Amino acid sequence: MSLTSKQRAYLKSLSNHLNAAFQIGKNSITPEYTKAIDETLEKNELIKLGVLKNCMDDPRELAEMLAERTHSEVVMVIGKKIILYRESKEKKKIVLPRD
């Protein structure tokens, strides 16, 4: 599933009030971390992650890697913040606008 610009803008507006659910530090992304993010996506659908200064990886590359591993969509990467979205299989909360 690929997000349209209208859907992406809607998800960006929803993410404004979110606090970072995870902080990515010097250990970058471990399998356990990926699993925790995957579970949080299933529960919340939309999450914000922060990339700490001690993480040497590029936030955009981290976002793409996490999206691939969790089968989610990158809503946006701005500075050291990453927003990911994935529709929940069981508890759908967010209704995306149609074009």
Q: What is the mean pLDDT of the chain?
A: 92
Q: Is 23's pLDDT higher than 70?
A: yes
Structure tokens at 94: 């967010």
Mean pLDDT over 29-46 rounds to: 94
Domains along the chain with CATH numbers: 5-85 (3.30.110.60)
Q: Is 91's pLDDT higher than 90?
A: no
Whose tokens are 């927003």? That residue is 83
Give the pLDDT confidence score for residue 59 in this predicted structure: 95
Any idea what DSSP says for residue 27? T
* Predicted confidence (pLDDT) per residue in 43-81, tens digit: 999 999 999 999 999 999 999 999 999 999 999 999 999
Give the pLDDT confidence score for residue 92 in this predicted structure: 87
